[in-house]
Structure 1
Amino acid sequence: MLTYLIFAIAVLGEIAATVSLKLSAGFTRPIPTVVVVVGYLVAFTALARVLDRGMPIGVAYAVWSAFGIAAMAGIGAVFFGERLTPTMVVGLALVVCGVITIELGSAP
């Protein structure tokens, strides 16, 4: 259970850092720039810890990527007014289905 909590921290750190990349305006705004650095530091440190605890790297990266992609698409649409087309929604659903398939395939 602790492994999944650490993994959630990794994903949230990556999401915060990626959103802050947009807000940093090319690293010209100091606070978002600091959030980028700290967020990625937290994300990769937590991911390293999760991998060290035995989570398969393929599963970890698949889930990490899927959550990040879905979160960034949603955040972009809601907070930045970015377009999310029906085709993009289908693509996101396919990514999620792919991750579920990888997870099911990794079970003993």
Structure 2
Amino acid sequence: MTYLYLFIAILSEVIATVSLKASAGFSKLLPSIIVIIGYIISFILLSLVLKTLPISITYSSWAGLGIVLITITGYIFYDQKLDGFAIIGIALIIIGIILINIFSESSGH
């Protein structure tokens, strides 16, 4: 259940961040409401995850996967370009998250 909460927290943060751009500086009501609700959900779930997982694992997964998903979302929805170095960087983030969660002794499992 812990990793499900973490995954939902990451998705909530990504939705909130994408909506932050769409809110145009909080001048559009619906995207602004989505931002607030998304971040609230994300932080509530993160606090629950932190009862079980170490903060290093929780935050590195949340931030790293958030970066990857926001980058992909920006590419798809906002026509933001990705060059070779961006793709390599994303791959390294994913590899880092996998290494930390599966092989690191600090992961708590």
**With structure 1 as the length reference, what TM-score do the two structures score?**
0.92
Q: Are residues 1:78 and 2:76 paired?
A: yes
The equivalent residue for 1:35 is: 34
Pick from 63, 85, 91: which aligns with 2:89? 91
Give the RMSD, CA atoms, in angstroms. 1.1
Gaps of at least 5 residues in structure 2 are: none
Cα drift, residue 72 of structure 1: 0.6
Q: In the alignment, residue 17 of structure 1 is paired with which amino acid? A: A
Secondary structure, counterpart of 2:63 in structure 1 = helix
Distance 2:41 2:82 in 1: 29
**With structure 2 as the length reference, what TM-score do the two structures score?**
0.91
1:7-50 superposed Cα distances (whole Å, 9 cap, x missing partner): 11111110110000110001100100000000000000000011
State how many pairs are aligned: 106
Q: Are residues 1:22 and 2:21 paired?
A: yes
Distance 2:63 2:70 in 1: 10
User: Identity of paired residues, percent?
Assistant: 39
